């Protein structure tokens, strides 16, 4: 593809389990958020443009903190807005009690016009992915030729769990060539003394190996994916929202799973052995701060990313 890959950052979530806006919470010595480190790593890997998706409700807080710092970032920064009524068909009535955004697939759909026709990577704003992940996904997208050929960075499950509670992860299955064959969203995965397990009902638990590949929402898409999102969103609203009006979500793993099942796409699973860091819970923050300080002390980052 002639166009250089773009980085898309999903930063519109409200952090219900965390108790605040994780997108802007400082973890670096100069007030940097995790997002700052992701942009630094992305630029180092070759990305020149980033699209950051936020909500109007957090715009001022975001622009006063992260946005102000990013004026010194060497990347071109564009903004898109995820709102409940964006891309919603005119005849659809939004449930009265609905405040939660429509999910990650809807977030990317809201950025459709800002992304344009370039291949793009998608990440969460509050996840630290590590340097190698950005390099491998950038290189893969630069060489993408088939518009239905996607990719994702898979992490070892054991590198992504927290000591402070349960996490939700997309548990991946792959074929012998490393292509994604299935992805199952497990919303309650926890560490225990003997390892890692998950439950569907809160009573019966199933073990998962440390090296189980999981998705951390680091996806690589070709431009045709945006048309698929636009085509599928009305069906989600019509079929899924009535079942769960307040919490139903249009999610990237679900959209990808549908495309795989229909034979309309393939997904190469790129592997990263980097340790993931994130702030699912407020108690996770000290570990993230300590890890980033250690990496700065080792010279992986400058002391002050955007000086």
pLDDT band at residue 281 under the 50/70/90 scheme: confident
Answer whether 115's CB lies under 8 Å from 236's CB: no
Q: DSSP readout, 8-64?
A: EEE-----TTTTS-GGG---STTS--HHHHHHHHHHHHT--EEEEEE-GGGHHHHII
pLDDT band at residue 16 under the 50/70/90 scheme: very low
Look at residue 1 and tell me whether its pLDDT is greater than 60.
no
Q: Determine the Cα–Cα distance for residues 289 and 37; give it in Å rounded to an integer.
A: 12
Q: What is the pLDDT of residue 2?
A: 60
Q: What is the pLDDT of residue 185?
A: 84
Superfamily of domain 6-153+215-297: Spore Coat Polysaccharide Biosynthesis Protein SpsA; Chain A (3.90.550.10)
pLDDT band at residue 190 under the 50/70/90 scheme: very high
pLDDT band at residue 307 under the 50/70/90 scheme: confident
Look at residue 147 and tell me whether its pLDDT is greater than 90.
no
| For range 143-150, the mean pLDDT | 86
- Domain positions in the chain are 6-153+215-297
Q: What is the pLDDT of residue 18?
A: 38
Q: Give pTM, 2 decimals.
A: 0.92
């Amino acid at each position: 593809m002639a166009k250089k890959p773009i980085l898309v950052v999903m930063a519109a979530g409200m952090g219900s389990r965390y108790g605040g806006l994780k997108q802007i919470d400082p973890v670096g010595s100069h007030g940097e958020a995790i997002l700052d480190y992701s942009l630094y790593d992305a630029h180092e890997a070759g990305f020149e443009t980033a699209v950051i998706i936020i909500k109007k409700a957090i715009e001022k807080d975001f622009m006063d903190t992260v946005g102000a710092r990013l004026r010194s970032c060497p990347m071109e920064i564009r903004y898109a807005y995820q709102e409940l009524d964006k891309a919603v068909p005119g005849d659809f009535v939004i449930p009265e009690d609905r405040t939660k955004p429509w999910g990650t697939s809807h977030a990317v759909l809201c950025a459709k016009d800002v992304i344009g026709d370039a291949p793009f990577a998608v990440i969460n704003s509050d996840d630290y992915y590590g340097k190698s992940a950005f390099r491998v996904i950038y290189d893969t997208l630069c060489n993408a030729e088939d518009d239905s050929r996607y990719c994702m960075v898979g992490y070892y499950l054991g590198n992504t769990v927290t000591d402070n509670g349960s996490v939700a992860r997309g548990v991946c299955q792959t074929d012998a060539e490393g292509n994604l064959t299935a992805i199952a969203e497990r919303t309650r995965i926890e560490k225990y003394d003997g390892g890692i397990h998950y439950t569907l009902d809160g009573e019966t638990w199933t073990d998962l190996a440390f090296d189980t590949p999981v998705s951390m929402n680091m996806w690589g898409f070709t431009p045709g994916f945006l048309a698929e999102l636009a085509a599928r969103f009305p069906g989600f609203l019509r079929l899924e929202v009535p079942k769960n009006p307040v919490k139903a979500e249009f999610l990237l793993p679900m959209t990808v799973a549908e495309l795989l099942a229909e034979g309309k796409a393939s997904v190469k699973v790129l592997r990263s052995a980097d340790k993931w860091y994130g702030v699912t819970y407020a108690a996770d923050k000290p570990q993230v701060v300590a890890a980033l300080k250690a990496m700065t002390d080792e010279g992986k980052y400058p002391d002050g990313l955007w000086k």
